[in-house]
A and B are shown apart, each in its own frame.
Chain A
Amino acid sequence: MKRPAKRIEKVFHGIFLGCGLLSVFFVVGISAYLIISGVPAIKEIGLVEFMLGQLWSPSQGQFGILPFILTSLYGTAGAILIGIPLGLLAALFLSKYAGPKTSRIIRSSVELLAGIPSVVYGLVGMIVLVPAVQNAFSLSSGATLLAAIIVLAIMILPYIVNVSATALDAVPQEYEEGSLALGATRTETYFKVSLLTARSGIAAGIVQGVGRALGEAMAIIMVAGNVANMPHIFGSVRFLTTAIVGEMSYASYGSLHRDALFSIGLILFILIVLINVVLNLIVRKEEK
Chain B
Amino acid sequence: MINKKTITSIGCVVATAALAFALASCGNSETADPDPQQGGETSSELTGSISINGSTSMEKVIGTLAEQFMADNPGVTITYDATGSGTGVECARNGSADIGLASRALKADEAGLESITVALDGIAIIVNEECGVDDLSLEQVTAIFKGEITNWSEVGGSDLEIACVGRESGSGTRDGFESITDTEDACKLAQELTSTGAVITAVSSSKNAIGYASLSAVQDQEGIKAITVDGVACTEETVMDGSYKIQRPFNFILQEGADLSATAQAFVGFATSAGAQDLIRAADAVPVK
Chain A interface (Cβ < 8 Å from any Cβ of B): 57-60, 119, 122-123, 126-127, 130-131, 134, 140-143, 218, 221-222, 225-227, 236, 238, 245-254, 257
Chain A hits for B191, CB < 8 A: 141, 143, 225-227, 236
Query: Chain A's nearest CB lies how many Å from the CB of B259?
Result: 23
Are the C-beta atoms of B208 and A123 separated by less than 8 Å? no
Can you give 9 contacting A-B residue pairs, CB < 8 Å?
Answer: A122-B16, A134-B208, A140-B161, A218-B16, A226-B192, A227-B189, A227-B192, A249-B87, A253-B87
Chain B hits for A245, CB < 8 A: 19-20, 194
Scan residues 179-199 of chain B and give those whose CB is less than 8 A from a CB of chain A.
184-185, 189-194, 198
A140-B190, A252-B87 as given contacts; A59 in contact with B205, CB under 8 Å: no
Query: Chain B's nearest CB lies how many Å from the CB of A34?
Result: 14
Q: Which of B23, B171, B206 contacts A131 (CB 8 A)?
A: B206
Chain B hits for A253, CB < 8 A: 26, 87, 90
Q: Which of B17, B160, B190, B198 contacts A227 (CB 8 A)?
A: B190
**Does B89 make an interface contact (CB < 8 A)?**
yes
Number of A-B contacts (CB under 8 A): 115
Query: Chain A's nearest CB lies how many Å from the CB of B281?
Result: 27
Query: Chain A's nearest CB lies how many Å from the CB of B187?
Result: 9
**Does B169 make an interface contact (CB < 8 A)?**
yes
Chain B hits for A222, CB < 8 A: 12, 16, 193, 198
Chain B hits for A254, CB < 8 A: 90
Are the C-beta atoms of A249 and B83 separated by less than 8 Å? yes
Scan residues 1-60 of chain B and give those whose CB is less than 8 A from a CB of chain A.
5, 9, 12-13, 16-17, 19-20, 22-23, 26, 56
A246–B16 alpha-carbon span in the complex (Å)? 10
Are the C-beta atoms of B84 and A250 separated by less than 8 Å? yes
Are the C-beta atoms of B193 and A226 separated by less than 8 Å? yes
* A-B complex: 6 closest residue pairs judged by Cβ atoms: A250-B170, A140-B161, A252-B86, A141-B190, A141-B163, A249-B22
**Does B209 make an interface contact (CB < 8 A)?**
yes
Interface residue tally on B, bucketed by range = 35 or more
Are the C-beta atoms of A247 and B170 separated by less than 8 Å? yes
A126–B203 alpha-carbon span in the complex (Å)? 11
A225-B192, A226-B191, A236-B189 as given contacts; A130 in contact with B13, CB under 8 Å: no
Known contacts A140-B162, A141-B209, A250-B84; 8 additional CB pairs below 8 A are A119-B13, A119-B16, A119-B17, A131-B206, A238-B192, A249-B83, A252-B89, A254-B90
Main secondary structure of the interface of B (DSSP, over half): mixed
A140-B190, A225-B192, A236-B190 as given contacts; A131 in contact with B87, CB under 8 Å: no
Are the C-beta atoms of B190 and A60 separated by less than 8 Å? no
Are the C-beta atoms of A250 and B205 separated by less than 8 Å? no
Q: Which of B26, B85, B168, B201 contacts A226 (CB 8 A)?
A: B168
Chain A hits for B171, CB < 8 A: 250
**Does B202 make an interface contact (CB < 8 A)?**
yes
A141-B206, A221-B16, A222-B16 as given contacts; A250 in contact with B193, CB under 8 Å: no
Among B23, B168, B193, B194, find the residue whose CB has the most chain A CB atoms closer than 10 A: B168
Among A221, A250, A252, A253, find the residue whose CB has the most chain B CB atoms closer than 10 A: A250
A141-B163, A225-B190 as given contacts; A59 in contact with B185, CB under 8 Å: yes
Are the C-beta atoms of A127 and B201 separated by less than 8 Å? yes
A261–B141 alpha-carbon span in the complex (Å)? 31
Chain B hits for A221, CB < 8 A: 16, 194
Are the C-beta atoms of A59 and B198 separated by less than 8 Å? no
A58–B192 alpha-carbon span in the complex (Å)? 15
A167–B23 alpha-carbon span in the complex (Å)? 40
Are the C-beta atoms of B16 and A127 separated by less than 8 Å? no
Minimum CB distance partner of A117 in chain B: B13
Are the C-beta atoms of B169 and A247 separated by less than 8 Å? yes
Are the C-beta atoms of A140 and B205 separated by less than 8 Å? no
Are the C-beta atoms of B190 and A143 separated by less than 8 Å? yes
- Cβ contacts B244-262/A at 8 Å (1 or 0 each): 0000000000000000000
A140-B163, A141-B163, A225-B192 as given contacts; A127 in contact with B9, CB under 8 Å: yes
Are the C-beta atoms of A126 and B198 separated by less than 8 Å? yes
Chain B hits for A257, CB < 8 A: 170
Q: Which of B19, B205, B209 contacts A127 (CB 8 A)?
A: B205
A248–B83 alpha-carbon span in the complex (Å)? 10
A131–B201 alpha-carbon span in the complex (Å)? 11
Query: Chain A's nearest CB lies how many Å from the CB of B226?
Result: 20
A60-B185, A134-B206, A251-B86 as given contacts; A236 in contact with B192, CB under 8 Å: yes
Among A57, A60, A130, A246, find the residue whose CB has the most chain B CB atoms closer than 10 A: A246
Chain B hits for A140, CB < 8 A: 160-163, 190, 208
Are the C-beta atoms of A249 and B5 separated by less than 8 Å? no
Minimum CB distance partner of A58 in chain B: B169
Q: Which of B23, B89, B161, B202 contacts A249 (CB 8 A)?
A: B23
Q: Which of B9, B86, B89, B194 contacts A123 (CB 8 A)?
A: B9
Minimum CB distance partner of B204 in chain A: A127
